Amino acid sequence: MRRRFVTVPTAVLLLALLGQAVVARQAVPAKPVSPGRIVASEAVNVRACPRADCAVRFSARPGETLVVTGPATDGWLPVARNGIEGYAWSLFVAAGATPELRQGMPGCNRVAFIVNLGVNYETQMEPLEWLAARNIPATIFPMGQWAEQNSDELRRMAELGFPIGSHGDQRNELTQLGDAAVTADIRAAEAAIAAVIGEKPAPYFTPFSAATDERVRSLVAAAGYLNVGWDVPADDWDFGVTADDVFMNVVPNVIDGSIVEFHLDAPSSAESTGVAIRWIVERLAAKGYEFVTIGEMAGPCAPVAPGAIGAAPATPAP
């Protein structure tokens, strides 16, 4: 079975944020505050109120600059274009700093697991088989060089339905590379992953060694990816890590909206994360957490009413 979990565009994220644009008949003049550039991979809807089920006023294309007219409300940023005001999801508007997803919006009691791959020891597939059998989502971030060397494992992850993002190509800290080299690394990873799974990776990117800054984030966004970080590292990438270590690194530190980073190709993965992930799922489920993909964590907390949103337009509204 393929794509059992929500991938990109996800129902929560892009079905909520992308749709057939409807132009408001009466525009309210905006008071310019600052510019905001659309950094999503597809057109973003600007809505009449700060909720995903509000009417769409217009769609803004990737790279388009809007006017930001005030601070965000529950993750929704007030913006305007040609005097028409509305609200865009703030994660897709660069108003100053380039957005980065390190935690989801609170209020949903959600947690997202991510798996970064590129340490290059034996990959432990059994934990993912266990998660898939229980419909527990995780989002996978392989490096390009890892994908080339572990094509069977990556294809199996895709078959299990796990969304596949990108962790870059080589084990280089992107902050130490020039602009052209950063972009080349992103594109090389994209090509390597696509060659294995038959499609481009989902537009989510985690930096190797968590090495990022505003310059790198802007280059990642320009390449069409959402910058993804994490607030709860399992610290499971080294030798000598135990299952107890991983459990204690994760469970006491998870809060509403947490993104938990794991590895499954580290030297201790079999005896650490491979064992602890069952305990972690059991304990977090007992605390009432819902397990979601990165695509879902990137979106608004409240679900969208069925049929409220249409397909994304090929061009923005006038």
For every residue of 277-306, which 3-state class applies, written as one string? HHHHHHHHHHCCCEEECHHHHCCCCCCCCC
CA dist 46 and 29 (Å) reads 15
Task: Give the domains, in start order, of the chain with CATH numbers.
Answer: 14-96 (2.30.30.40), 101-297 (3.20.20.370)
Residue written as token pair 């080349």: 184
d(CA 219, CA 80): 25
d(CA 20, CA 231): 35
Q: Find all residues with CB under 8 Å of 210, minimum gap 6, and list them.
A: 229, 230
Q: Closest Cα partner for 110 from 246, 38, 6? A: 6
What is the C-alpha to C-alpha distance for residues 116 and 129, in angstroms, rounded to an integer? 17
Between 89 and 1, residue with greater pLDDT: 89
Residue pair 58/46 in contact by the 8 Å Cβ criterion:
yes
Calculate the CA dihedral of residues 88, 91, 95, 98 and round it to 10 degrees.
-160
User: Could you write out the three-class secondary structure of 142-177?
Assistant: ECHHHHHHCHHHHHHHHHCCCCECECCCCCCCHHHC
pLDDT at 165: 99
* SS3 at position 264: coil
Where are any strands of DSSP class E within 193-253?
Answer: 204-205, 226-228, 232-233
Q: Could you tell me the CA-to-CA distances from 10 to 76, 86, 240 in Å, in that order?
A: 18, 22, 37
- The H or E element containing residue 116 is strand 110-117
SS3 of residue 73 by DSSP: strand
pLDDT category at 309 given cuts 50, 70, 90 is: very low
Which pLDDT tens digit goes with each residue over 54-96? Answer: 999 999 999 999 999 999 989 999 999 999 999 999 999 999 8
Structure tokens at 2: 């393929």
- At 263, give phi and psi (nearest 5°): -125, 150
- Mean pLDDT of all residues belonging to the chain: 88
pLDDT in tens, 113-168: 999 999 999 999 999 999 999 999 999 999 999 999 999 999 999 999 999 999 99
